[in-house]
Chains A and B, each alone.
Chain A
Amino acid sequence: MNRDRVTAILMLTPSVILLAIFVYGFIAWTGYTSVTDSNLRQQLRGETAEVVGLKNYEDLFTGLLNKRFRVDMTNTVFFTILFIVACLGVGILLAILLDQKIKGESVFRTIFLFPMALSFVVTGVAWKWLFNPTSGINVLPTVIGLPAGQFQWFISEDRWLPFNWHDLGFYIALILLGMALLFTLWQWSKKRSQWAAFGAALTLLLLAWVTLGDPRSITPIREDGHGFNVALIALVVAAGWQMSGYTMAMYLAGLRGISEDLREAARVDGCSELQVYRRIIFPLLQPITLSAMIILGHISLKIFDLAYTMGGGNNLFIDMPGINMFFTTFRASEFGRGAAIAVIMLIMVAVVIVPYLYTQLRSETHL
């Protein structure tokens, strides 16, 4: 080993040790807590928590008392999708507008980026005032003599796309099996192997069983209504207002990276301005879209402060798993179940982040 290598290892060791303890150690500890029935009463008495296996997880996904968790999961999915779409849409629109070599571009850039400098708490409080149904932006139309807006924003109790939670497994199975069937059929069409035929037959059989038989009878039939809570729109607007400036900055950097030669070449070839964007610019911006989606995705999956300040913690229409985790752990003092929620959140974020990190690391080693 040469000197450099020794120095490098010596320099890295402290942070590796700290990371190992304070990040991975505590993740492991949380994982362990999530399979126990640990709670405050027990801890205060100095008793050790009992390992209860996956009971906490089972309770969360099926228990009568934990409907709040399932509301949160539904909310997270809808919020994440809408939030990402809103930020990307507004971001690229602003970036394209700014890219038109307008006067005072830097002023606009700063203005659009400013909201990102605020904490979500500030955003939450300010938008809570703006969205107050009786005194906020609903009153604006009256200034020019129009009737006041009727939308209830963050306290709206409307719900679209209603579904029963216990049918969710059925829908997911249907989708997965359908995809598997298509895949095997595609394999079969490429190469008529025995395995592909066997696979296709098996998925077909499973699909028939799922649709014609009644696998739903396995899970207890109980009405557990969920859906897209319209109140989330308020949350999406506030979060989008804060983060779309950031996506704008990313896209703007991307646009500046596309050489003018390419656009010129396309124009010379007779592309309309619209076609330049569709055929040249958007495809070249794809890596940026991916990065933005990852960053926005992990923000929205972990969001706590914005929903907490806007909803006060008990508004289930804009509730998020982070709030539930905090309440379960520190108010109801059920450490085990709180840890289970935390682990599920970690898995959700990991699903988004890990493939990204993987591709990033791989491309770096290629360099």
Chain B
Amino acid sequence: MDEKTYARELFEQTFVAIQHATDVAASIILLRDAYKLSHVTYHMAQTIASRIDAPFVRTTYPPNWVSRYLQQGYFNIDPVLIEGVSRSLPFLWSELEVTPATQRLFEDATQHGLGISGYAIPIIDRCGRRALVSLNTDMPQDQWSALVVHYRAHWLELAHGLHTKALVELYGKEDPAPPLGRRERECLHWAALGKEYKDISCILGISDHTARGYLKSARFKLSCANIPQAIAKAISLRLINPV
């Protein structure tokens, strides 16, 4: 199996596993183990839009580090968290600016046997709620950066999967999915009939990459890991009727 296929399958398996997991706590363990990460944290920011009193946090960090973190008030200085909930683009921890306070935090983390490389993925949803998914590793920085570039597109989607999970856990139900547009339905319809991007773009008079964009968006809106799953779901929801 080539690397790309392997990555694709790993993503699809993890995506489905997270969907079937009981809660966010179980999901972050699945994500951590699938990609051999050291730790995964999901953090929904305290915002007016989210209407929750306390931030919603789930993490795989060991209890002794979590209590140390809280006792020392590290949430007040942790740049990953502070910047993470106001940034929009994903970032490597190594991009963060070092201050004496953050230096102390990272030294303490090292003393607790934790890696100090990471990748943080900010999430903004349609309601304007912000969340942060933070991945931690003990890998050397350059190796980690390469891995991030390799997997980041998949990690981004999985991070959104965690967010969907958290919304269900907090509010008892998912946000209503944005409705599929006409073009998205048309692209799914032709994909269901076995057409490739190239054929679909010809039929609809749009370019290749636009057909890909519509299918990607349709797949995301339907919360599916791949196009065949999205087609099946769209048919069962009677959004398309390919015959």
A and B: bona fide binding partners: no
